[in-house]
Amino acid sequence: MHRLLTGSGSNSSIVLNGPSGIVRDPNSNILYIACVYNHEIVSYPSGNIVAGGNGQGINRTQLKSPIGLVYDSFSNSFIIGNYGAHNIIRWSLGASNWTHIVGSISGLLGNTSTLLNQPVGVTLDPMGNIYVADSGNHRIQLILNGQSEGTTIAGINGIYGSNSTLLYRPYWVKLDNQLNLYVADTFNGRIQKFLRY
């Protein structure tokens, strides 16, 4: 178990189990934390469960090892890299279940344009397009806003390696203000930069 201290010199804390992704709502300054082993998203400083919290699973009220997390302020929702269920989902703040974006609804892994294998990091661009570090397939997938099919924009599907065109277990993705993509190419021990797609 891990603890998030609620302030300098404070003795109170929130118990976390496998904290991974963390995002901030820029309007309220509330932090949201993906707790991988509790299969939930919690808020800080309240410690309230805002997504999942119904045990590990693949039904629409559950999460399965959520790692990646991004907050979409336009829709007041989270986009979650649901690692153990091999999918990307959207969970609106205040909702009791998720809606499907891409990947398997039934928890199956795959390497097609509609399936994923252990997705980790997710990020959004200003147009609402989603970028996914599809770690088990060694690729980055771009899912256009409103679509349920991805396009590989970095790496080669199912092939890992260390040359400049290959990735090996990419975990995190970030965009700069020109929409260049930065990838934590984890098992290669490097950060790769890809020019705007």
| pTM, entire model | 0.92
Q: Mean of the pLDDT values across residues 59-74?
A: 96
What pLDDT is stored for residue 13 in this prediction? 76
Q: Mean of the pLDDT values across residues 122-126?
A: 97
What pLDDT is stored for residue 2 in this prediction? 54
The dihedral through the CA atoms of 154, 155, 161, 163 has a sign that is negative
pLDDT (tens digit per residue) in 87-122:
999 999 999 999 999 999 999 999 999 999 999 999
Rounded to 5 degrees, φ, ψ at 89 are: -130, 165
How many Å apart are CA 29 and CA 73, to the nearest integer?
A: 12
The dihedral through the CA atoms of 27, 144, 147, 140 has a sign that is negative
Angle among Cα 21, 163, 155 to the nearest 5 degrees reads 50
pLDDT (tens digit per residue) in 17-40:
999 999 999 989 999 999 999 999
- Domains along the sequence of the chain with CATH: 1-108 (2.40.10.500), 116-197 (2.40.10.500)
| Average pLDDT of every residue of the chain | 93
Structural tokens at position 83: 């690692």
DSSP label of 30 = -
What pLDDT is stored for residue 15 in this prediction? 83
What pLDDT is stored for residue 12 in this prediction? 57
Q: Mean of the pLDDT values across residues 37-54?
A: 96
